[in-house]
A and B are shown apart, each in its own frame.
Chain A
């Protein structure tokens, strides 16, 4: 088990086992993520998608959890700075470098005009982009997103998924995201990782094959 960043690999995981306490969910997880790659993590409920993402986050990548509350009284700018907890001083001020990355992230995501808007007034899609901006401001080489399209309507879902792909391509950030919206997610994913009910981890270049093994009843 280990994680290394080398030139052509943003994240490498070898023989990782995940579980809750003594209960093992999935054994022998091994994969590599290349810079700029956008990968879907699929699998039925309870197979360990969130557990895997949390285990990976402990090794360095930034994880954006699902259902972050839109607290009233925080502008998009203040929200992103708050999320940069480790990168800020005791007053909550981020470095000039981080502030430059923040501006660049807002520009890349097309949400500069929302910078001073209260996050409670944002649509779910806009808020998800603000969450992405937090990850980019934190200089993540690998960004993990747990169900970024949950609670989104079709229009916002497609917009957020396309944005993920675009961000990965343009910034070289490797993105691994979990989703239940397989049809839409497959449109943007370069590859699919699958967690099966019987505790296996499948990484396949062929998206259809991996999904057929994960959801035999559906294919």
Chain B
């Protein structure tokens, strides 16, 4: 029986609105509109965007563990954030969240640009995958070097971004993320039949008349726009991008992207809401990056073990 995603999503949304600091009476006013609604909307948009990105990466690289951060996007965003908070000075007050977000976004796009630029030279998607992963390691290493030389205030700001959070986004930032989600989703849908055929291998796709480079570049653009924007405002959030597409395939019983993309949008949003509820059950909210891991890791293990550790049968 396929669970109905919409009622589950609605239920999680209501629970997430009720979760968090402040009494229920307070929740009717400023707390609701200035804190909880933006937080819930952020979780919805960010979860959906990361999940749609993950679905594309898993198709392009035919790897069940691929996620939007695998191409060094998160490493690039981290380096951008590190530069903003540390290298430019220790006066953290000057660097508001928006500056960190902008720098992180630029870092994510630098990574995406490098990957797309070298993709023409690599015939195989696997080689490109290795390049992306290595790029991520280089960016992380550079971030670590910057942290080593940073002051206490800068480090605090950087670590709070790294921990990940759906709280603190203003409506203008949510609109930016929603805009990135809409464009990214449209790109993914337009690339849907390409994402389908690439699952059968590059050779089969090429012989059927598809351009594997076009499929790759379109999906990279879509992923980097969505993941870059979300990571900039919410920090690097793992596991949604890996788990949500698996859940979507499980629920729809299909791997075709006409079904997987919208279903991933819903499962990603549901996962993000669940992680946000768990994070806000405590007097001091937990980092969402950690609650996502706590929910995501058992789920991915169950899903992968049930699929005999492989989505593809030869």
Among B208, B256, B311, B313, the one with the most A-chain Cβ atoms within 10 Å of its Cβ is B208
Give the contacting residue for A83; candidates B197, B203, B253; CB below 8 A. Answer: B197
Residue-wise interface mask of B (187-206) relative to A, using a CB-CB cutoff of 8 A (1 in contact, 0 not)? 00010110011011101110
Q: How large is the interface on A (under 10, 10 to 19, 20 to 34, 35 or more residues)?
A: 20 to 34
- Asked whether B192 lies within 8 Å of A73 as measured between CB atoms, the reply is no
Q: Is B213 located at the chain interface by the 8 A CB criterion?
A: no
Q: Which of A88-118 contact B (CB under 8 A)?
A: 88, 90-92
- Asked whether B209 lies within 8 Å of A69 as measured between CB atoms, the reply is no
- Asked whether A92 lies within 8 Å of B204 as measured between CB atoms, the reply is no
Q: Is B286 located at the chain interface by the 8 A CB criterion?
A: no
Give the contacting residue for A78; candidates B201, B203, B256, B307; CB below 8 A. Answer: B256
- Asked whether A73 lies within 8 Å of B254 as measured between CB atoms, the reply is yes
Q: Which residues of B contact A169 (CB under 8 A)?
A: none
Nearest B residue to A124 via CB reads: B314
Q: Which residues of A contact B253 (CB under 8 A)?
A: 73
Name the distance in Å between B180's Cβ and chain A's nearest Cβ.
21
- Asked whether A82 lies within 8 Å of B207 as measured between CB atoms, the reply is no
Nearest B residue to A70 via CB reads: B313
> How far apart sit A84 and B196, CA to CA, in the bound complex (Å)?
11
- Asked whether B193 lies within 8 Å of A65 as measured between CB atoms, the reply is no
Give the contacting residue for B307; candidates A62, A63, A72, A85; CB below 8 A. Answer: A72
Residue-wise interface mask of B (280-314) relative to A, using a CB-CB cutoff of 8 A (1 in contact, 0 not)? 00000000000000000000000000010001111
Nearest B residue to A86 via CB reads: B209
- Asked whether B200 lies within 8 Å of A68 as measured between CB atoms, the reply is yes
Give the contacting residue for B210; candidates A57, A71, A85; CB below 8 A. Answer: A85
Residue-wise interface mask of B (243-272) relative to A, using a CB-CB cutoff of 8 A (1 in contact, 0 not)? 000000100011110101000000000000
Nearest A residue to B190 via CB reads: A90
Q: Which residues of B contact A73 (CB under 8 A)?
A: 249, 253-256, 260, 311
> How far apart sit A55 and B299, CA to CA, in the bound complex (Å)?
46
Q: Which residues of B contact A74 (CB under 8 A)?
A: 196, 199, 254-256
Nearest A residue to B254 via CB reads: A73
Q: Is A67 located at the chain interface by the 8 A CB criterion?
A: yes
Name the distance in Å between A111's Cβ and chain B's nearest Cβ.
18
Q: Which residues of B contact A57 (CB under 8 A)?
A: 207
- Asked whether A68 lies within 8 Å of B201 as measured between CB atoms, the reply is yes
Q: Which residues of A contact B260 (CB under 8 A)?
A: 73
Q: A90-B193, A92-B196 are in contact. Are A67 and B255 (CB under 8 A)?
A: no
> How far apart sit A67 and B312, CA to CA, in the bound complex (Å)?
12
Nearest A residue to B59 via CB reads: A71
Give the contacting residue for B311; candidates A63, A72, A84, A88; CB below 8 A. Answer: A72
Name the distance in Å between B264's Cβ and chain A's nearest Cβ.
13
Q: Is A120 located at the chain interface by the 8 A CB criterion?
A: yes
Among B192, B209, B249, B253, the one with the most A-chain Cβ atoms within 10 Å of its Cβ is B209
Q: Which residues of B contact A70 (CB under 8 A)?
A: 312-314
Give the contacting residue for B313; candidates A78, A91, A120; CB below 8 A. Answer: A120
Q: A65-B204, A85-B209 are in contact. Are A72 and B255 (CB under 8 A)?
A: yes
> How far apart sit A34 and B254, CA to CA, in the bound complex (Å)?
40
Q: Which residues of B contact A54 (CB under 8 A)?
A: 207
Q: A69-B200, A91-B192, A91-B193 are in contact. Are A85 and B256 (CB under 8 A)?
A: no
Among A64, A68, A69, A120, the one with the most B-chain Cβ atoms within 10 Å of its Cβ is A69
Q: A85-B209, A86-B209 are in contact. Are A69 and B201 (CB under 8 A)?
A: yes
> How far apart sit A69 and B249, CA to CA, in the bound complex (Å)?
17
> How far apart sit A84 and B207, CA to CA, in the bound complex (Å)?
10
- Asked whether A68 lies within 8 Å of B204 as measured between CB atoms, the reply is yes
Q: Which residues of A contact B307 (CB under 8 A)?
A: 72
> How far apart sit A206 and B210, CA to CA, in the bound complex (Å)?
39
Q: Which residues of B contact A82 (CB under 8 A)?
A: 193, 196-197, 200, 256
Give the contacting residue for A71; candidates B199, B203, B207, B208; CB below 8 A. Answer: B199
The 30 sampled A-B contact pairs (Cβ below 8 Å) are A62-B207, A64-B207, A65-B204, A65-B207, A68-B200, A68-B201, A71-B199, A71-B200, A71-B255, A71-B311, A71-B312, A71-B313, A72-B255, A72-B313, A73-B249, A73-B255, A73-B311, A74-B199, A74-B254, A78-B196, A78-B254, A82-B193, A82-B197, A83-B200, A85-B193, A85-B197, A85-B210, A91-B192, A92-B256, A92-B258
Known pairs A74-B256, A82-B196; list 7 more (Cβ under 8 Å): A68-B204, A69-B313, A71-B313, A90-B193, A91-B258, A92-B192, A92-B258
